[in-house]
Amino acid sequence: MESPISEYILLFRGTDWGKDLSPQEIQNVMGQFNHWMERLSQHGKLKVGQPLASKGKIISGKTTRTVADGPFAESKEAIGGYWLLKVENFDEAVKIAGECPLLNYGSSIEVRPVLEKCAHMQWFDEHPADGSALTYEQVSG
């Protein structure tokens, strides 16, 4: 029972790539990015897009919770924003990500399919014979 995945998250990585651009280049890139974004949202392919603040908290700890300032990723790795795409398939999502004008300036994009079920459930759907010994309650518990 494989249903086609239609939603993809684009994670925009890199937050300091604009530092070395000239004012004119900044304006040009901004124009290109905006044009690209408007086109995709007009075609109904872009559902939501939001930037992320550069500062946040990281919560961890198995028994006692630790709250630390984060994210600590280098600005090259830090996520500057995300998009939620609604497209036909993975290839289309990857193709759209490849059109991003920010890539020319050292930014990178991670494309991840949004699953309708959690990964374990999906695995069982795809491998019914192997999973026959276990019940759904045991895995999803």
Partner 1 sequence: MSKFQDNGNSSTGTVSQLTEHLFRREAGKIISVLTGFFGIERLHLAEEIAQEALVRALQTWPWYGIPDNPAAWITQTAKNLALDLLRREKLFRDKQSEIAVSVEQWSTDSVTEESPLFETEIREGPLRLMFACCHPLIPQESQSALALKTLCGFSAAEIARAFLTTEAAITKRLTRARQKIRELHIPFEIPSGWELSLRLDGVLQTLYLLFNEGYKASSGESLVREELCSEAIRLATLLAKHPVGNQPRTHALVALMFLNGARLPARVDAEGNILRLREQNRSLWNRAMINRGMLHLSQSAAGDEISEYHLQAGISACHCTAVDYSSTNWPQILSLYDRLVLIDDSPIVALNRAVALASVDGPEAGIKAIESIRNRQPLASYYLLYVVLAEFESQLDEFQGAANHLRQALQLTRVKSEQMALSKRLHECEEFL
Site string for partner 1, 40-59 (x = CB under 8 A): -x----xxxxxx--------
19 near partner 1, rule: CB under 8 A: yes
10 binds partner 1 (CB under 8 A): no
Q: How far is the CB of 46 from partner 1 (least distance, A)?
A: 7
Tokens of 16: 């300091």
Structure letter (DSSP) for residue 101: G
The burial of 61, by beta-carbon neighbours within 10 Å (0-12 exposed, 13-18 middle, 19 or more buried), is given as exposed
If binding means CB under 8 A, how many residues of this protein chain bind partner 1? 28
Backbone torsions φ then ψ of 49, nearest 5 degrees = -150, 135
Query: Where does residue 63 fall: left (phi above 0), alpha (psi -120 to 50 degrees), or beta otherwise?
Result: alpha
Q: What is the DSSP letter of 122?
A: H
Binding mask 64-103 for partner 1 (x = CB under 8 A): ----------------xx----------------------
Which spans of this chain sit near partner 1 (rule: CB under 8 A)? 15, 18-27, 29-31, 33-35, 37-38, 41, 46-51, 80-81
